[in-house]
Structure 1
Amino acid sequence: MEMAVAVLSTLTSNVVPKLAAVLEKRNEQLKGLEGDIRFMKIELEMISGAMELQLSQKQRSSPVQIRSMAEFRDLAHDIEDCLDRFLPCAACEGEPPASIRDPRRFADKIKKLKAQLEAAKKRKVDYDVNGSQASGATEEMDTEELVEMADDPVGIEKPKQEILDLLEGGEQEKLCVVSIVGFGGSGKTALAWEVYHCTQVSWRFGRRAWAVASKHKDAKGILTAILEGLRSEEEPAMAQDVPGLQQHIRNHLKAARCLIVIDDIRKQLWNAIKPIFSVETRSRILVTTSIQSVANACSSGHGYVYSMKTLSAEHSKDLLNKKVFVGGCSPDMEEGSTAIVDKCDGLPLALVSVAKVLQGENMLTGACCQEISQNLGERTDKNKNGDFTQLRQVLMSSYSSLPDPVNPLRTCLLYTSLFPDGRPFSRNRLIRRLSAEGYIQRKHPRVRGDLDVADENLKELIDRSIIRPIDVSNNAKVKTCRTHSIMHQFMLHKSRSSNFITAFGASNSSNFRHLVIQNHKKGTKAPPDMNDHLSIPVNGGHSWTSVMRFTKKSSSSDERKQLRPRSLTVFGSAGDAVSGLSNCELLRVLDLNECDDLKDEHLKCIYKLLHLKYLSLGRTVCNLSRKMERLHCLETLDLRKTMIETLPVQVLRLPHLAHLFGKVKLELPIKLCAEDILKQILPRETKLETLAGFITDKNYAFPQLMCLLKRLRKVKIWCEPTSTDCNLRLLSEAIQKFVLADMVTGVGSRSLSLHLNNYSEDLLHHLDNTAGYLSSLKLHGKLTRFPQFVLSLCGLKELCLILTNLKGSDLSNLLKLRNLLYLKLVGVDHLNDLHINRGDLSSLRRLCLVVETPEFPRIGEGALLTLTSLQLLCQGLVGLCGIELGWFIELQEVALDSMVNTETIQDWENAAKKHPRRPKVLLLKRVDQAETGSTVKYVATEGPSIFQKKRNIEQFQSTSTYEVQPNLKQLKF
């Protein structure tokens, strides 16, 4: 019900502004319709409010309520479809509105929709929808996690010892707060429970107290629970006010070394009770939470944050064996148990829940295990036998704890389920799609853009541990992320039941807002590994071709079965599905980035998708039609994976195009001179912000064009050897204007990436005296000296020098960049000739060094005091190479190449344990150049570590091809 309310609320929030815009167009076309439109606007707002009120009561919805809500959701879909079909571009704010397309049909449709809305409203009253309840039962969430996992713990010894070490770490006479943070059901409470009851803790702490914060509404309740645990049996219990409770707890903390465990802490409660704990104490506090920012707040100062890790595949199977396959796992069961392990993704609560189901089966077979794993999301939601009660409560709590349904956070979470389970998705890809879909609601449109709001929503989901960050970029921003597998499956099931997301070809798919195709083959069943995402059903479905045929045959708008999706996403092959793209006339997002059988001819009629805002094409596309200029609403065009080499100039005329990605040249008419071309390309100011990127050669048009794009924020340029001196001069002038644009205000974020060639020295010579404002600069290509213009850039926060042929002795000038936060050096030889002393790079937060030989800068004591991340990516790294981790007092993580030997990993692990902040030691995997198209790229992996068996390390190092599966937390060979 909650998901359906979120979908309906999002719909109404999109439809209501459009209805308001219609009311502003007071002309003859709307004569007699104003009252009807105003009625629908008010009704939609009231419906959304009523649904939110119903949801806030936390009562189980009756079948009548569910059916009524579905009816209003479908009506909201119909109204949105009507407005999209008949109204002009909604993005043209401030421009003269075009006439409504076919005003007579529009008027007829509006009257019919009004009648349907009134009928639905009457039915809601007649059947007492608001008062009817299924049983009056409520779904109260028991926020204390599954402690029964501690009865027979698996894989808990290592994290328990790490927590014990953290409790003993830091200054002994200072208060230390250790926060355990992780997704619901990951075993935070079970781990804290094990620590609390272990013999080692009872020896070290004279008094202990356990309190569950979620059971108390205010500070008095939680303080009473803490005092109850600390007081001895001889002390009488008595009711006290808050000051009295605080004083008694302080007395206990002075008299003995105490351990206080607070489960499921909330920030408000922590702020209320924090003042009672003196900084000067040997006592320790252990808290659990699912919110990263709460963990950071609790452990600020002398504390530590411990991020929960999910169980490995080996430990997951051990847990199943102990609870289900006590006598061992037969060959028939092996494949089924592996499928369950994959789906549960190392989440202990999910594994325990599935184990309960398996224990109740009369005849347990491998096929039974496969069936349970394939329908885990549906089983968790329906929870027929109560085996999934706690798991469902945890998942629903994670969802319902998000802000009210109108907030796009819930919609954002639902939307992530269209990406395949277990496969990381790009953060930028997601936020641009959300913006194009209209799922972003800005309170202050002139202050923040859609992408900023979408990025903020994603950050909050990451902060709440619902979405996991996978890869992080040079500037510490998340590049790729993924949802927990069990949450993904639960959201996917809810999305299906709310007509939000489904597989193309599924029954009634024309009523869904978002369609997904994954390795579509006409007339064949989807392979088993697709069932965890959006497979194509064998029975009850229909092919794309049959839908298209039916659509074309029907001439009447009432009889015609319209395809209503707002997005279509393809993973793998699309088969015959791509042949009728133009029939999805209301598409806003067409994501073919991972489609591997798309042909140029399939895109011939793409210009008919007049509402398209986001278009991404895959590696099999070679050309773009000049008719692309008809895609009036297009905002994002992603050609990075394509084979397209030239771009029609008509594309740059699109009035709303803001982000263009690829590596292309401009296709220019031969007969026209450059000035005439520019007049035709840019008859008015464009909205282009991202141009990443263009190849500049002997053609003069691109540098001149770049000078005219006033809104550019991010530019990526490849300089080809065919560039002439005149062209390089024009290009340098364009770059100078680009970096000077924000010089006055000194605000904003501007990024420049230059892939240089043999003419780089000439280009950099033109830029030597350039002073301007730039936040990010990347230089890729051979240089003979450190570019002087870098030192003249104000606001430079990120600098990347990739394969520049510079040596360590050439880089002394970069030490003068006192405001630099992020530095990445790739392929620099003799780095040990670079000396970093106290005061150099005094603001640096992240340092990444990618080298072939283990030579690193000589860093003196007192230097880089603000450094939080140190990445030393060298396959031949041996030992610590003379680096003293203790000198970096703010260090939080160290990243190494995953191919380094076991002894080196252990050396860094040991050094990290001695560091006051105990930084994490991460392993990054180097990706083959052929896979990425880039020179050097590393991705996150939880590959070999000192805790794995040595034979696995040796096998890893001797294997030429390997794959990391994040959901299994192991290496697959």
Structure 2
Amino acid sequence: MAEAVVSPVIERLGDLLLNEAKFLSGVRVQVKDAHTKLLWMRAFLKDADAHVRDGDERVRLWVVQVRDTSYDLDDVIETYVLKVVSKRNGRGVISVLKRYACIFSEGIYVHKIGAEIEKISSSIATLTSSLQTYGIRELRVKEFGETSSNNIQPQRDLRRAYSHVVENVVVGFDKDIEELVARLIGKENPHRHRVISICGMGGLGKTTLARKVYHHPQVRAHFDGFAWASISQQCVVREVWEGILFGLTSPTQAERNEIKSMGNGEIAKKLYNLQKQRKCLVLLDDIWTTSTWDGLKAAFPQDETNSKILLTTRIKNVAFHVDQNGFIHEPRCLNENESWELFQKKTSCFGKDPTNSKDNERMGVLGREMLRHCSGLPLAIIVLSGLLSTKHTVNEWEEIKGNVMRYITKGREHDDSKYSGVSSVLGLSYDELPFYLKPCFLYLAHYPEDATIQVKELCLMLVAEGFIPSRGASTDSSEDVAYDCLSELVERSMIQVEKWGLTRKMKSFRIHDLMRDVCLSKAQDENFLQFNDLRNRGEEPLKSVSTDIRRVAIYFDRIYDFLPFVDNINSALRCLIIELVMSQKKLRHVINSFLMLRVLKVSHRDPLKLPKEIGKLIHLRLFSTSHNTLVENIPSSIGNLRCLQTLVVKSYVDNVKVPNVMWKLEQLRHLSLPYVHGIPAFSKWLRLTNLRNLQTLTGVQLKYLDRNDFLRLTNLKKLAIRVDRNLERIFQDPTTVTFVRLRHLQIDCSEERVRVDIVPVILSYPQIYKLKVEGTIVKLPEYNQFSPNLIKLKLEYTHLKDDPMPTLEKLSSLRVLSLHECSYDGNEMVCSKGGFPQLESLQITYLPSLEEWKVEEGALSSLHFLRIDCCLKLRRVPDGLRYITTLKEMEITSMRREFKERVEEGGEDFYKVHHFINKCE
């Protein structure tokens, strides 16, 4: 992890040296020297981390010193910028007079800072020179996108599996086994999948599943030869090839000697030809890296063959790399009943004594309670079962229950079996991460248990913290690189996607409870982040914080005097996430205590005035308030935050005052202002003169914008704007107001009492894929006026007079359509044959005049989901629904009882909907 700490500091210093030399007046030489020494040290850190994992306590202490020294250097530079450079940014006569008045003392301070940097550089040099003592060698630093090759042999050896060890107790894998067997023997198309991969997080039972398939009678009858290779040991290609060849041929001793005398090319060719000539099954268990396969692949046919490869891996990218056309199977965690079944079968003492029925009943209750902590992970259930098998009384089970998480994750002391604990198994995934992914994973520690984590928000925070490496000449934004980092965690099975977006990009994800426990533990060990959740905890005190901690997340659900806790936290805190009832006075205290913050997230339930002191946080990159925060004002001092990249202020307070200072924030990329009934209170104009990097702009009104400013926002990707009848002031010539990068557009014209023509706005954004229109409009644009890329469309309060379906059904890319809240005032809609060829989701909500909806045969041919809500005059579902074979689910809510009865079993319209799931509420 030290490498992950040092690398952002190196990048920070490099940016200062290259792009912001003016900030280093007086200390540039010292900073350059420290930067050079850190670069040299980083080359050794990968090997040092490997020594730490091998249990070398001396090296662990050395790594801690490296980490702390890097933090010290970062703090000194940040302090220098805070105390010296901020004074130089002052303007006006008074600022100039103050500048000259303190120039002598400032010179002394610069000298002092230079001396501190030199002292830290000397410490770095001393630490580097001691490397030889510990046997640490220089390793090439991995570039972004490469796979780590850390030496984690001792941990991997514990997970080594053997083909002959058959697990008799297997639960929840019946369907998995059936599907994998069918893919392997491939009766219909035997050549369809050359490689079958089982991919998932550690402890999920991938090897157990592979072993059951490997020994399955149908598989044994189908293939002529079998070989099992455990790749979890340090992969020596020659040894793996020999082992596979021995398994496929069962050679005599003389034949073995002959094989061993062959050259690498000869043995690879022999193995290759054998798989071409016969039907062979080779199982490659626990393969971690693409480079491992690159070393092995010469011995495996790449073209059509009757032989197959079955492999297990935690990393999906490895499976894709082995065969892009292969089949990837991802086992799920066990459900509650399956977990209980596995627990009962593995816990040898449970229920064996029928005379102790009361004890058995109590132990059953305790067992189910403890199982919840396993979250369906087979390894965790097996660890818990093995532990309880040695405990025969209710009292002993009660004792285990009190410390169940410690027992499950850490395992029993002095037990070196491969099932001794879950943390060591799941921790392998963390150890294997390249340095740039480790802080991305540890950052997840600030989210509460079972939280749905929004990808966009997390990407912005990672960028603000400086954890995202650059890609050299790449045109990808930092946010794009952050997304790719999170995608790597998905590929490595460390997080699970919960929701995909319309463009097949990840929108949200979750982290398994036990993987989160690993995350929390690692974050605490590294002084990276501390998580405090006092919701529903009564008077439980806050945990003490290490004086070196850099990030703190605090969640409250009541008034709590947390200021003594704050006073004990390191003043060099970089990130604070705080959810509580808080006064302006307390927030002011927090701000004054942590002037080096880069990320500040606040959630508050009562009206809150942001103090002017927020302008002191000149290092702040991200400031946001949650959706339930009642912000009353934004102080003008926020214009001092020249490093700010993301400003998100959500509030339900009317007329939030927004000062005209946003133009000063030249680094701003994402600006989301309060949108209380769409009316934030700007003083007069919202100047955006210098915001050339702006990608997101939401919560603004057209009448407050200057046209010239607006035209300069050529990097906008998302725009949510309230327009008025005078929109030609901005959109007078759509051919000159084209924003080709924009993908997401929201138009709100609900403030106007007359109909607004939105066609000029639509024509100005030719590449959007997501559009929302709210408010009364003159007419719906023609289908060829919409973007050809439009995927999602939502209409609300548009009060259309004409049926929108004849226009919208011609949008060939449209996949999601929502007609909400009086979007259409007519009484009939018709979807014609061939219309909506790609539409997957259709929602019709509160169309009070709609009486008849017709769907012709051949319309909506791709529809998966349909929702009809509060259309009280609609008499029946369309007859054409019976022709839509793709429809999987229909929800009917807030409709008349007669309508619901018609579609329920036995109703007049049931024949139209019986082929898919129908939910009536």
8 Å Cα contact 2:445-2:531 kept in structure 1: no
Q: 1:50 aligns with which of 44, 53, 58?
A: 44
Deviation of 1:779 (Å): 2.9
Q: 1:139 aligns with which of 137, 145, 154?
A: 154
CA RMSD of aligned residues (A): 4.9
Residue in 1 that maps onto 2:616: 608
Partner-residue secondary structure (3-state), 2:498:
strand
For residues 110-167 of structure 1, the C-alpha deviation after alignment (integer angstroms, 9 at most, x for no partner) is 423533553575477679752499xx99624146569979331122223222333444
Q: CA 1:509/1:858 → structure 2, altered by over 3 Å: closer, same or farther?
A: farther
Deviation of 1:500 (Å): 0.5
Counterparts of 1:786-805 in structure 2 under 5 Å?
787-788=780-781, 791-792=784-785, 796-802=789-795
Partner-residue secondary structure (3-state), 2:623:
strand
Deviates more, 1:358-367 or 1:71-80: 358-367
Residue in 2 that maps onto 1:262: 284
1:112 aligns with 2:116: yes
Residue in 2 that maps onto 1:130: 134
Distance 2:390 2:317 in 1: 40
Q: CA 1:790/1:903 → structure 2, altered by over 3 Å: closer, same or farther?
A: same
Residue in 1 that maps onto 2:228: 210
8 Å Cα contact 1:757-1:782 kept in structure 2: yes
Deviation of 1:477 (Å): 1.6
Residue in 1 that maps onto 2:666: 655
Deviation of 1:546 (Å): 2.6
Q: CA 1:298/1:138 → structure 2, altered by over 3 Å: closer, same or farther?
A: closer
Q: CA 1:800/1:247 → structure 2, altered by over 3 Å: closer, same or farther?
A: same
Partner-residue secondary structure (3-state), 1:394:
helix
Residue in 2 that maps onto 1:688: 694
Deviation of 1:512 (Å): 0.9
Distance 2:432 2:892 in 1: 38
Deviation of 1:694 (Å): 2.8
Partner-residue secondary structure (3-state), 1:141:
helix
8 Å Cα contact 1:180-1:289 kept in structure 2: yes
Residue in 2 that maps onto 1:180: 198
Q: CA 1:387/1:163 → structure 2, altered by over 3 Å: closer, same or farther?
A: closer
Distance 1:361 1:765 in 2: 72
Q: CA 1:768/1:374 → structure 2, altered by over 3 Å: closer, same or farther?
A: closer
Deviation of 1:399 (Å): 1.9
Residue in 1 that maps onto 2:426: 395
Residue in 2 that maps onto 1:532: none
Partner-residue secondary structure (3-state), 2:276:
helix
| Equivalent residue letter for 1:564 | A
1:344 aligns with 2:374: yes
Q: TM-score, normalised by structure 2?
A: 0.76
For residues 608-641 of structure 1, the C-alpha deviation after alignment (integer angstroms, 9 at most, x for no partner) is 2222211111323231233332333222122236
Residue in 1 that maps onto 2:649: 639
| Equivalent residue letter for 1:289 | T
Partner-residue secondary structure (3-state), 1:801:
strand
Q: 2:176 aligns with which of 138, 159, 163?
A: 159
Q: CA 1:141/1:245 → structure 2, altered by over 3 Å: closer, same or farther?
A: same
Q: TM-score, normalised by structure 1?
A: 0.73
| Equivalent residue letter for 2:192 | L
Q: CA 1:805/1:379 → structure 2, altered by over 3 Å: closer, same or farther?
A: farther
Partner-residue secondary structure (3-state), 2:721:
strand
Q: CA 1:894/1:23 → structure 2, altered by over 3 Å: closer, same or farther?
A: same
Q: Tell which has more relative contact order, 1 or 2 (C-alpha 8 A, sep 6+).
A: 1
Q: 2:756 aligns with which of 752, 760, 763?
A: 763
Counterparts of 1:553-702 in structure 2 under 5 Å?
563-571=571-579, 578=587, 580-582=589-591, 583-592=593-602, 595-597=603-605, 599-601=607-609, 603-618=611-626, 619-627=628-636, 628-640=638-650, 642-643=652-653, 645-653=655-663, 654-661=665-672, 662-663=674-675, 664-669=678-683, 677=685, 681-682=687-688, 684-695=690-701, 699=703, 701=705
Residue in 2 that maps onto 1:933: none
8 Å Cα contact 2:757-2:779 kept in structure 1: no
Deviation of 1:264 (Å): 3.3
Partner-residue secondary structure (3-state), 2:631:
coil
Deviation of 1:487 (Å): 1.7
Residue in 2 that maps onto 1:944: none
Residue in 2 that maps onto 1:507: 544
| Equivalent residue letter for 2:443 | Y
> Which segments of 5 or more consecutive residues in structure 2 lack a partner in the other structure?
138-150, 260-265, 352-358, 533-541, 870-876, 894-899
For residues 277-323 of structure 1, the C-alpha deviation after alignment (integer angstroms, 9 at most, x for no partner) is 5866666543332223343455654x533221111122223323333
Residue in 1 that maps onto 2:769: 776
Residue in 1 that maps onto 2:716: 712
Structure showing greater radius of gyration is 2
Residue in 1 that maps onto 2:278: 252
Q: CA 1:451/1:339 → structure 2, altered by over 3 Å: closer, same or farther?
A: farther
Distance 1:816 1:9 in 2: 52
Deviation of 1:706 (Å): 3.7
Distance 2:173 2:904 in 1: 23
Residue in 2 that maps onto 1:311: 334
Partner-residue secondary structure (3-state), 1:152:
coil
Distance 2:762 2:18 in 1: 53
Q: 2:456 aligns with which of 428, 447, 450?
A: 428
Deviates more, 1:466-475 or 1:79-88: 79-88
Deviates more, 1:476-485 or 1:748-757: 748-757
Deviation of 1:483 (Å): 2.1
Question: Between Structure 1 and Structure 2, how many residues are aligned?
Answer: 827
Distance 2:581 2:369 in 1: 24
Q: CA 1:815/1:880 → structure 2, altered by over 3 Å: closer, same or farther?
A: closer
8 Å Cα contact 1:703-1:734 kept in structure 2: no
Distance 1:447 1:509 in 2: 40
Deviates more, 1:501-510 or 1:418-427: 501-510
Residue in 1 that maps onto 2:471: 443
| Equivalent residue letter for 2:717 | R
Residue in 2 that maps onto 1:539: none
Q: CA 1:216/1:563 → structure 2, altered by over 3 Å: closer, same or farther?
A: closer
8 Å Cα contact 1:89-1:633 kept in structure 2: no
Distance 1:878 1:152 in 2: 51
Distance 2:76 2:633 in 1: 30
Distance 1:25 1:609 in 2: 17
1:286 aligns with 2:310: yes
Partner-residue secondary structure (3-state), 2:350:
coil
| Equivalent residue letter for 2:544 | S
> Which segments of 5 or more consecutive residues in structure 1 lack a partner in the other structure?
524-542, 551-560, 743-747, 886-892, 912-920, 924-952, 961-973
Partner-residue secondary structure (3-state), 2:41:
helix
Q: CA 1:809/1:241 → structure 2, altered by over 3 Å: closer, same or farther?
A: farther
8 Å Cα contact 2:631-2:651 kept in structure 1: no
| Equivalent residue letter for 1:246 | Y
Counterparts of 1:378-393 in structure 2 under 5 Å?
379=410, 391-393=422-424
Residue in 2 that maps onto 1:754: 747
Deviation of 1:398 (Å): 1.3
For residues 473-508 of structure 1, the C-alpha deviation after alignment (integer angstroms, 9 at most, x for no partner) is 222221111222222111211111111101465434
Partner-residue secondary structure (3-state), 2:643:
coil
